[in-house]
Each structure stands twice: as C-alpha cells, then as structure tokens.
Amino acid sequence: MKKIHIILFGLLFIGLNAQEIESNMLLLPSASSLQKSSLAHFELDSLSIYQKVDSIITNGIKNESFPGAQLLIAKEGNIIFHETYGFHTYDSIQPVSPNDIYDLASVTKILGPLPAIMKLVDEKKLDLDEPFSTYWKPWKHRKDKRNITLREILAHQAGLKPYIVFLNKTLKNNGQFKNRFIRNTSNKRFQNEAYEGIYVKNRFNRKMYRIINRSEVSADKKYTYSGLTFLIFPELISQITGTSYEDYMAQEFYKPLGMKTFGFLPSTRNFTNKIVPTEIDTIYRHTLTQGWVHDENASLLGGISGNAGLFGTADDLAIIMQLFLQKGIYSGKRYISEKTIEEFTRTQYPENENRRGLGFDKPYLNNSDFNLTDAYPAPEVGQDSFGHSGFTGTFVWADSEHELVYIFLSNRVYPTRENRNIYTLNIRPAIQQVFYKAFDNAKQHKP
C-alpha cells in the first residue's frame, strides 16, 4: 500500500513512507524540549491528513486567501507535521520554505510583552488586581482610568478604546509627512527607523502615550478588544526592569529558549532566512513591505512594540508555545511559574460573555456546541486551550488537554489587507479540525 501511495502522490510521500518505518511513539518528559517525530508515531492516517490539508490550503491559494502558507503541529512535545505550501507572492517565484521568517502581527502580544508581564507578576513587581496607575503614573491623574486594574486591561474588560490610528498624526492633508514628526534622513532627534528612508522623531512615542492616556474609556465595562496598552507595555517593562524591552525579552526568553531568529527588526540582523513580504502599502511606505513591521503603530515606535513587531519562524513559535503548554518550563528550565501560566490562560470574565484569558485569546464560551462555521477556533479544541491570531495571517494555539500545539503562518495581506478569504473560507480552524479528528479516529481504532 505504501508503494501505491508513493506512486499516487509523488515525492511528497517519499518522506512520509520513510517516517512510517520509524520506531514507536516517543515518550518525552513534560519539561523536555521539542523533538522531531512523525504522524506514524501516533498511528495517524497520514494519507488522509495530507489529502485534507492539501485540499484546504490549495483551495485557499486558488481563492487568493494567501499566496503561500506553512503549518506546524506538535503533539506531546513531538513535531509531527511541518509542511509548506505555495509561494511568497502570486508570481510563483519564491517558494515558501520551512525556515522562512514571518511578520507575526498581533501574535506579538502574547509572545512579546505577555511573558515579561507574567515573569514580573511572579516576581511581585506587578499585581494583576492593583490599579494600573500604580505602575503607569500618568493614569493617576485620569479619573476614568485611575482605578482600572491590570487584570481588566489584559482581559480586554477595561472599556478602553479599541484602536487609534497614530499615522494620521504624522500626515498632512495632502498625504505628505509632517516634517516635525518624520524625516527621510536620520539625525540625533530622528533615529527610529520605521522603514527604509523613513525616520520617526525619537520623542514621538511620548505623543502616542499622551494620546492613549487621554483617550476615552467606556462607562460600560464589557468585552471590547483593545490593543492600546500593548503600545505602553514595552516602556513599562523597561522602567521596571531597568533594561530595554527588546534586550529583556531576548535575554530572559528568546536566547535561552533557543529561538534563533525570533525578535524585532529582522532586516537589521543579517539572517540568511527569507523574510515573507506582507502588503504593498499605498498609503504610508508606497512600496512592498518586507522585513519591516506591517503594523503602522508599531512602525512609528521604530518597529519595537508590544502590539506587533515580532518576526520569527514556525520552529521559533513552536518552542515558546510549548513553553506555555508545559506551564512555564522548557528543556528543564523554569521561566514562568505554573500558577501564573494557569491564571493567565484561564477565562477571566465568563459572566460578562468575555472568553478571554489574560492577554491570551480563548475558545468561544461553549465552543464545543458549535459547528465549524460558527466555532472559534475548531470546536474540538479543549476549553482550557489558548493562543492568538495576527492580522497578517498568522495563528498560534496550544491545547493542554490534548497536548497539541498548532502553528499556521501566512501572508494573507499580500498584496492588500482587503483579502479576507482566510476568514470567509474558515481555513485555519478547518485545518486545525483535521488533526483533532485524526487523533480521535486513531483512538477509536485502537484495539
């Protein structure tokens, strides 16, 4: 039968066939690092999985949901599936490669400031139930903000404004940059490079903070997703730790975890990896955005932010999501306490119809009652699972009940953010469901 599979599906299944003859399932200690394994180790129907995943992604590419994508699945600390599809752009020149670097967009929120905040909670330098104004002093003078807690902020329960387009503050009516905020050459006062030939005033971050500090707060405390404080968190982390946010994250997490390409400003780091492009920007940069953060607000902070700005490979993402799945320990080293991980990944305000954890996204409440079209993410995921999506077409999810990590990377905003078929075709949950059903089928067919 294996030879028939090879004939039918070509080179794709040569590698798969080799996997079939490997030894039985790897059993790894819960604190271990990720290992390479295969679908066969878990007695999964490899042929069926490849057929279904290929069909979903090929349909996505055909309908211009994205020009290319890649998918990584880890089960019980074993990477059992890592495949790439399509190209960087629709001209089919640069194929997607497993070591490609992606702009992670809002996935930055849970892999940038959030681990730092969790560590600072462990160290009792932050308290979830203290007013945020205890740490961010300007809010002490804002009546509508002085009593908002860090817990409410991280759970998107604080009533904060969802988004502010700071780019508008830098542009004249004719679309040209205001010279007092942005220059095309750097000097002592303009050192934050937003893109090649675009330098932002060093103190522009303070203007952004002032606008956030003065922004309206809804009196109705209900679930409203807001990314505003994630623009503030890097400065707060720097103030508390005495180390720049970028260096703190690298020293405390990314480097010791072995996340080789993970971080900010990849264009400045001389990687040999290809960086997947995002959007052909017609408003701001007027060119293809590649190697520089797509998010405009993050770019105005010089590309180093808490709302967006992180870049990395699927392997990088798998490591830190496995750290979360293993409740704060990886390769024998404790990074965050188990208690803190459990608290941050717990739904905080279900009574307010708010599914969110602290920073982490969560499944819809009663998600298993829905069909695939209405669920988020796939209806089969555990209710304790968590993750986040990114505007550029990225998605990460960890499920402790099923010991499963799911990484989906794409550049759905190429050539324009108006491409929304990744959502209308429900691509990411549909692929996720393939693996949950495969594991369920394997369990049912065991003697």
Provide the residue range defining the domain that includes 172.
Answer: 111-252
Q: Flag whether pLDDT at 17 surpasses 60.
A: no
Q: What percent of the chain has pLDDT over 90?
A: 90
Helix (H) or strand (E) holding 316: helix 314-325
Residue 29: the pLDDT is 56
Q: What is the pLDDT of residue 18?
A: 40
pTM of the model: 0.93
**How far apart (Å, rounded) are the C-alpha atoms in residues 74 and 82?**
9
Whose tokens are 């409410």? That residue is: 152
Question: Is residue 295 in some structural domain?
Answer: no
Dist CA 85 CA 257 (whole Å) = 27
Q: What is the pLDDT of residues 269-324, one digit of tens each?
A: 999 999 999 999 998 899 999 999 999 999 999 999 999 999 999 999 999 999 99
Clarify whether residues 91 and 137 are in a common domain.
no
pLDDT of residue 5 exceeding 50, the answer is no
Q: Tell whether 418 and 309 lie within a shared domain.
A: yes
Same domain (yes/no): 238, 331: no
Residues 322 and 198 in one domain: no
- Residue 445: the pLDDT is 72
For residues 55 and 75, state if they share a domain. Answer: yes
Same domain? For 122 and 101 the reply is no
The domain boundary, picked from 252, 282, 316, lies at 252
Same domain, 59 and 176: no
Bigger pLDDT: 207 vs 16: 207
Residues 400 and 362 in one domain: yes
How far is residue 99's CA from residue 379's CA, in Å, rounded to a whole number? 30
Enter the tokens of residue 390.
């990114």
pLDDT of residue 393: 98
The answer to whether residue 53 sits within a structural domain is yes
Question: Rounded distance, CA 290 to CA 266, Å?
Answer: 10
pLDDT of residue 372: 97
Structure confidence at residue 347 (pLDDT):
98
23 — pLDDT class (breaks 50, 70, 90): very low
Distance CA 416, CA 282 (A): 9
Residues 6+ apart with CB under 8 A from 8: none
Strands, E assignment, 220-316:
311-312
Whether residue 405 lies inside any domain: the answer is yes
110: burial class by Cβ within 10 Å (0-12, 13-18, 19+)? buried
pLDDT at 32: 78
The tokens describing 217, both together, are 């707060």
144-168 mean pLDDT: 97
Q: H or E segment at 344? A: helix 338-344
Q: 221: pLDDT confidence band, cut at 50, 70 and 90?
A: confident
pLDDT(209) > 50: yes
CA 11 to chain CA centroid, nearest Å: 31
Exposed/middle/buried for residue 242 (C-beta within 10 Å: 0-12, 13-18, 19+): exposed
**Residue 30 — pLDDT band, cuts 50, 70, 90?**
low
CATH number (domain holding residue 127): 3.40.710.10
